[in-house]
Amino acid sequence: MQTPNNAGAAGAQSPRHPRDVVAGLVNDGMAAFVAGAAVREAVHRAARVRFIQVLPVGLSSEERAEMDVAMFAVALRALHRQRRVPCTFETVEGVAAQMLVERSRGAAVLVVGRDSPDATVRVGQYCQEHAACDVLTVSGPEDTELVPSGGSRSGYSVLAGDHAHDRAHDDPDRADRP
């Protein structure tokens, strides 16, 4: 098998395929909700899910291995009963908000946990303000909010999986677009 000379960067999408849905998994208690919402969004868009786990710098190899196994289990549970959803798994170290913004370049949407009112680290807010793609924040199994790229709130919350309301009406990569 040969690799084309013009192969793009890891995670790059062909112009023929929908852009990725990135699931930003951080240790904030929201990973299962984020993974589930990202899989539903990928199914809706006929896109690939990129599960990206961000770990703090300085973990031992045992701690890192434990967190990798936990992330993989969360992703598998989210994918359960979904057919043929392409996905990738990635673990990076660094500051969660900055790493997710960097890793979501070229994506259709970044899915992250919504910041709690008393959070000292505001990953969701940072992503909404700095990501080049739309950001879908999740606070529970059925509670999501889409913020289009550019950080201006859409003014509505939608139910994950409720496709009666078109969350991304301007997205040309949507599978249900003519």
CATH H-level, domain 21-147: superfamily: HUPs (3.40.50.620)
In terms of pLDDT, which residue wins out, 145 or 49? 49
pLDDT for the residue 19: 93
- Residue 143 confidence class, pLDDT cut points 50, 70, 90: confident
Distance CA 141, CA 93 (A): 27
What is the identity of the amino acid at 59?
A: L
Cα torsion through 104, 172, 146, 78, rounded to 10: -70
Non-local (6+) Cβ contacts of 175 within 8 A are 18, 44, 45, 46, 47
Domain definitions of the chain by residue range: 21-147
The residues facing 55 across adjacent strands are 93
172: Cα within 13 Å, side-chain hemisphere? 3
Identity at 1, one-letter amino acid code? M
**What is the per-residue pLDDT for 3?**
35
pLDDT in tens, 106-137: 999 999 999 988 888 899 999 999 999 999 99
Average pLDDT estimate for 9-34: 79
The strand order across the sheet containing 143-147 reads: 87-93, 49-55, 21-25, 109-113, 134-140, 143-147
> pTM of the predicted model, to two decimals?
0.76
pLDDT of residue 113: 95
Q: What is the pLDDT of residue 2?
A: 38
Distance CA 106, CA 131 (A): 10
